[in-house]
Structure 1
Amino acid sequence: MNTHKQVPGLGIARLDGGGLAYRLADPLTIDAVGGLARQSWCHRLEVCDASSDGRRPAQFRAICELNGEPFVLIGRIGEGA
């Protein structure tokens, strides 16, 4: 398994510490996250709101497939790219 993956339009995602998903380093805007749902390579998208106390940022988790290889993409939602 590669330790990084080029994600179209989003840049490079690196394998997270647990080795179960690829994580984007920079947060995405809510519009960019919404755009994931329209991509043919993104099959499922889950969004989690930030905690009210600010300890947990808004996040997303997407089940994706590129070039026949399925993977999980995770990241934060905020003032990113």
Structure 2
Amino acid sequence: MSAPITKLPLVGVVRRDGVAYRTADPVPLDVVTGLVRESWCSRLAVTDASADGSIPAEFHAMCVVDGEPFVLTGRIGRRCD
């Protein structure tokens, strides 16, 4: 079994969330759209935020890193640096 992934290009730190990996911080929209150009990422889907802001926009992508396929999920928004 390979070591768990802890950091990915573009999106930064990730953590295991069930069978998927989730970004630790919100990911800016321009970074999310850049995922489709990455060879390790495919099938990107984006969900809209709710009108009242109670549900944030999210993305879901099929990825393969070091031969390990997984789903990457995260919130879309401004990073809090």
With normalisation by structure 2, the TM-score equals: 0.86
**How many positions carry a matched residue from both structures?**
79
Amino acid of the structure 2 residue aligned with 1:72: V
**Aligned match of 1:67:** 66
Structure 2: segments with no counterpart, 5+ residues: none
Amino acid of the structure 2 residue aligned with 1:55: S
**SS at structure 1 position matched to 2:37:** coil
Partners of 1:75 and 1:54 in 2: how far apart?
Answer: 16
1:3-50 deviation per Cα after TM superposition (whole angstroms, max 9, x unaligned) = 54321232221011xx12100111011100000011010011000010
Structure 1: segments with no counterpart, 5+ residues: none
Alignment RMSD (CA, Å): 1.7
Partners of 1:6 and 1:74 in 2: how far apart?
Answer: 13
